[in-house]
Structure 1
Amino acid sequence: MHRGKGMKFVGDSRIKANHRMPNVPKDYSEYPGKTEAFWPNFLLKEWMVGAVFLIAYLILTVAHPSPLEGPADPTRAYIPLPDWYFLFLYQLLKYTYASGPYNVIGTVIIPGLAFGALLLMPFLDKSPERRPSKRPLPTAFMLLTLAAMFYLTWEAVANHDWEAQKVMGAIEQEVKVTIDESLPGYKIWTGETSDAAQSCIGCHAADLKGGPAAPKLLGNTLTADEVEDIIHNGRGKMPPGVFKGTDEEAKQIAEFVASLKEDK
């Protein structure tokens, strides 16, 4: 007798089974396009997709190794970055209504709404359809989220170096200074005629834009006598006796620094 639908079987524990049922997936022919066997159909698809992404990631790692940052430079600011998967939140906190007095919006409300919507998605979207084209709203929200994350991450990386330079005053868009390269002090500063300015460059930087221990010299409002007095007697964090050149060289450098006024 063949097994069929509607037939029931009664087992007896006193009778030892002589055969085992073959390990075959259930018959899903009654539900065409609605579901499929987990093993091997669904699981095999998952493994194939995972293998493609893994191989692509390994190729990317070999072809484009992680870049090392430049050597330590005390004259430049260093702004630490969070891990790459948090960069979009890091960039979000730079905008007006997500930082400062509105910090709670960028740190709690917006991420809370995003993750809350993700957790509630199984309850909000109960459609049996699996194709993205048949589920326009969830698909649109997911694409919008991915686009926002990609854009914010890109902005965080692209603007990082510029922001670090801005913190140190290396980018001065508002201050324009014309440097008179004919002055003897300029030639001393560049090392063309003397090495006397090496002690100055160590703190104020060769480009005159300053550093952690010294202010920028571009756009200063000091007179030549005031600069010469600072060179000999010091001021603030600058102690006296740092300059190792002659008095004449100090005078020439003072005249050069005093000439670095903002253009009118």
Structure 2
Amino acid sequence: MAHGHKSDEKIVYVGDSRVIKKTQEQRLIPRDYSAYPGKSEAFVPNFLLKEWMVGVVVLVGMLVLVMSDPAPLGYPADPKNTAFIPMPDWYFLFMYQLLKYPYTSGDYVVLGAVVVPGLLFGGLLLAPFLDTGKERRFYRRPIASSLMILSLVACTYLTYTSWSHYQVELKEKNIVPEHIKREEEMHANKGAAAGGGASKDTKKGAAIVAADDPGAEIYKKATCLSCHGAGLKGMPASGVPALLGVGDKHSQEEILGIIKNGKGNMGKQYQANLDKGLSDADVTKLAEWLSKQKAQ
């Protein structure tokens, strides 16, 4: 081995017969991953191709669901409609329910809206760095497995509770969700068009009587509007009768009694109207105006 540039320096070559000389072509080709069965594989293209194929199957499935069942649409947003119950998408129902509890709402809304979700998602992001053990069997990882099971149970419980409370609230307030109401109205209109005319309730006297009456303005603020609609046509397909021509069936006193005591699937609406800002005189005026709705 030479250590300098002197021409007379002796050069000693060090070699080892056990080292296999490889050609340039052999050095550029990596070992085949079949040499490591069950241990590894090339990320590109082997692993990436598998992931891409799974992603395509999932995406196609989602597209099929979207095309087969379009997203339900309600009416345009109306800030004056106090009977509307806002609901988030199903994957946020657990947070929606969490924010209903007193310790995560009101004065503690920051705790429920920022701190708790921040801890949950922050813990999820830090999990790979905090849990660095090589063990993959869940029963050998009690802390990580317990937190995972606890989070899953909490999300499931909160989601179920939120949806159950929503159904109970709809039933108590006798409210039909807007997207269902709109779809039923669409089907009813299609059926009326196919039948060559309006429904039985609206064939005659379809026009609103005394549209400029003060009672008409009160109606726009009352709870009746959410179910019977601005045109008083109701939703016959879902059991909500039209109010057009209601004066031919009921007197003012009878209508007032229905508002106070309810009838059929309709619950008591008197207190609900008072809660919306109407007075007792307004309710009476509303009943008087509805009694004028007679077939012409």
Structure 1 length normalisation: TM-score?
0.52
Return closer, same or farther for 1:67/1:197 CA change in 2, 3 Å cut-off: farther
C-alpha distance in structure 2 between counterparts of 1:148 and 1:59, whole Å = 31
Give the residue type in structure 1 aligned to 2:47: F
In the alignment, is the contact (CA less than 8 A) between 2:94 and 2:156 conserved in 1?
A: yes
* 1:78 shift after superposition: 0.7
Deviations 1:85-139 (A, max 9, x none): 3221111112343334443432233212211211211211113455667655434
Return closer, same or farther for 1:117/1:50 CA change in 2, 3 Å cut-off: same
Partner of 1:78: 84
Deviations 1:164-185 (A, max 9, x none): 555xx559xxxxxxxxxxxxxx
Give the residue type in structure 2 aligned to 1:47: W
Aligned residue pair count:
198
Return closer, same or farther for 1:211/1:95 CA change in 2, 3 Å cut-off: same
**Unmatched tracts of structure 2, length 5 or more:** 1-17, 176-245, 292-296
Partner of 2:162: 156
Deviations 1:48-73 (A, max 9, x none): 33233223323433454434458999
Residue correspondence of structure 1 range 15-26 to structure 2 within 5 A? 21=28
In the alignment, is the contact (CA less than 8 A) between 2:104 and 2:111 conserved in 1?
A: yes
**Unmatched tracts of structure 1, length 5 or more:** 11-16, 172-189, 217-233, 247-264
Question: Does 1:98 find its partner at 2:104?
Answer: yes
Partner of 1:179: none
Question: Does 1:58 find its partner at 2:63?
Answer: yes
Give the residue type in structure 2 aligned to 1:45: K
Q: Which deviates further from its counterpart, 190-199 or 100-109?
A: 190-199
C-alpha distance in structure 2 between counterparts of 1:86 and 1:126, whole Å = 30
Return closer, same or farther for 1:155/1:89 CA change in 2, 3 Å cut-off: same
Give the residue type in structure 2 aligned to 1:120: L
In the alignment, is the contact (CA less than 8 A) between 2:98 and 2:104 conserved in 1?
A: yes
Aligned residues with identical type, % of pairs: 40
C-alpha distance in structure 2 between counterparts of 1:48 and 1:133, whole Å = 31
Give the residue type in structure 2 aligned to 1:55: V
Partner of 1:125: 131
Question: Does 1:209 find its partner at 2:254?
Answer: no
Return closer, same or farther for 1:26/1:147 CA change in 2, 3 Å cut-off: farther
Return closer, same or farther for 1:120/1:108 CA change in 2, 3 Å cut-off: same
Partner of 1:226: none
Secondary structure of 1:127 counterpart: coil
One of 113, 117, 133 as aligned partner of 2:119 = 113
In the alignment, is the contact (CA less than 8 A) between 1:93 and 1:106 conserved in 2?
A: yes
CA RMSD in angstroms comes to 5.0
Which structure has the highest helix share of the two? Answer: 2
Secondary structure of 1:243 counterpart: helix
In the alignment, is the contact (CA less than 8 A) between 1:76 and 1:211 conserved in 2?
A: no
Structure 2 length normalisation: TM-score?
0.47
C-alpha distance in structure 1 between counterparts of 2:47 and 2:137, whole Å = 15
Return closer, same or farther for 1:160/1:102 CA change in 2, 3 Å cut-off: same
Deviations 1:199-255 (A, max 9, x none): 75897676442376x339xxxxxxxxxxxxxxxxx8564586972699xxxxxxxxx
C-alpha distance in structure 2 between counterparts of 1:140 and 1:238, whole Å = 57
In the alignment, is the contact (CA less than 8 A) between 1:25 and 1:39 conserved in 2?
A: no
Secondary structure of 1:215 counterpart: helix
Return closer, same or farther for 1:20/1:147 CA change in 2, 3 Å cut-off: same
Residue correspondence of structure 1 range 1-264 to structure 2 within 5 A? 21=28, 27=33, 29=35, 32-69=37-74, 77-129=83-135, 135=141, 137-164=143-170, 166=172, 194-196=250-252, 200=256, 207=266, 208-210=268-270, 214-215=273-274, 235=280, 237=282, 243=288
